[in-house]
């Protein structure tokens, strides 16, 4: 087991124990020292594994108290949805226009974002997304070609990319990470989304991972801020503002 992947494998083992009911919602995991002895690894490896589990929403780490299992029923309610399904749930008819699809070598930025090598190949997919015939988003997607050979044979203007992942390639998107920001866009993107030379937009960088924590897809999506809002629900108050009875 390579040193740099030990913590990922340990996190996967603990996650499976949670899913199998070995550790139930609210349970505290064994302390770091016990986990070190059990897996025969260093304290730093255990800490990295626990941090990964926290990022995945499996546990929460409380300072000086330990790591606690999160209620997975609540976690599962925070669904990972492709834009197609999201729009359908809102009662909107969706379709896409494929501007570009090609199999290419990743540049340095994409290698770092997806944790892949220079000689790995990716699909570059550029699409305009529509809801009831109005352009609401522009996507620049980079998809790990290793896991979806022959992607170009699918009609990506009519079908959901996530449906293709699931139904044809038998891939499971286990978790995803979003980075959200506001920015000023110009040029063709602004013309399509805002019917203007420039203007504000919502930018979301999304990386999707499978059950082995392998990055399957990285997408930069530009949303029309007038027609799309990004909602985040927070369920826990900072300790600073908690009342203790």
- The last residue of one of the domains, among 77, 96, 112, is 77
At residue 27, the pLDDT reads: 86
139 and 109 belong to one structural domain: yes
At residue 69, the pLDDT reads: 86
109 and 219 belong to one structural domain: yes
160 and 186 belong to one structural domain: yes
95 and 23 belong to one structural domain: no
197 and 159 belong to one structural domain: yes
**C-alpha to C-alpha distance for 213 and 208, rounded to whole angstroms:** 9
168 and 102 belong to one structural domain: yes
63 and 87 belong to one structural domain: no
At residue 232, the pLDDT reads: 56
Cα 174 versus chain centre, distance: 8
Q: Does residue 17 sit in helix, strand or coil?
A: helix
Domain assignment present for 155: yes
215 and 197 belong to one structural domain: yes
Q: Tens digit of pLDDT per residue, the chain (245 long)?
A: 444 588 999 999 998 898 888 988 778 999 999 999 999 999 999 999 998 888 777 888 887 788 988 754 433 334 566 777 766 766 667 889 999 999 999 999 899 889 899 999 999 999 999 887 888 899 999 999 999 999 999 999 988 888 898 889 988 888 888 888 889 999 999 999 988 999 999 898 989 888 888 899 999 999 877 666 655 555 555 555 555 54
At residue 242, the pLDDT reads: 55
Q: Residues 73, 205, 60, CA angle at the centre, nearest 5°? A: 35
* CATH number of the domain within which 123 lies: 3.40.1410.10
Domain assignment present for 228: no
* CATH number of the domain within which 45 lies: 1.10.10.10
In terms of residue numbers, what domain contains 93?
83-223
At residue 144, the pLDDT reads: 95
212 and 143 belong to one structural domain: yes
**C-alpha to C-alpha distance for 49 and 138, rounded to whole angstroms:** 35
Domain count within the chain: 2
């Amino acid at each position: 087991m390579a040193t740099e992947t030990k913590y990922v494998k340990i996190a996967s083992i603990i996650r499976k124990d949670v899913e199998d009911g070995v550790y139930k919602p609210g349970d505290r995991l064994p302390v770091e020292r016990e986990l070190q002895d059990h897996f025969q690894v260093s304290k730093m490896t255990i800490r990295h594994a626990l941090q990964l589990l926290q990022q995945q929403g499996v546990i929460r780490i409380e300072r000086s108290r330990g790591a606690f299992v999160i209620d997975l029923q609540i976690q599962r309610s925070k669904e990972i949805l492709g834009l197609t399904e999201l729009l359908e749930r809102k009662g909107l008819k969706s379709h896409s226009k494929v501007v570009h699809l090609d199999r290419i070598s990743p540049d340095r930025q994409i290698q770092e974002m997806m944790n892949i090598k220079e000689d790995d190949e990716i699909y570059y997919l550029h699409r305009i997304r529509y809801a009831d015939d109005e352009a609401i988003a522009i996507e620049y997607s980079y998809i790990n070609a290793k896991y979806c050979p022959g992607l170009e044979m699918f009609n990506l203007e009519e079908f959901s990319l996530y449906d293709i992942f699931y139904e044809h390639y038998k891939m499971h998107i286990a978790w995803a990470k979003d980075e959200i920001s506001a920015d000023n866009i110009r040029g063709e993107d602004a013309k399509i989304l805002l019917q203007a030379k420039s203007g504000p937009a919502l930018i979301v960088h999304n990386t999707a991972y499978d059950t082995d924590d392998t990055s399957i897809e990285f997408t930069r999506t530009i949303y029309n801020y007038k027609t799309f809002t990004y909602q985040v629900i927070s369920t826990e108050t900072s300790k600073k503002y908690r009342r203790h009875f």
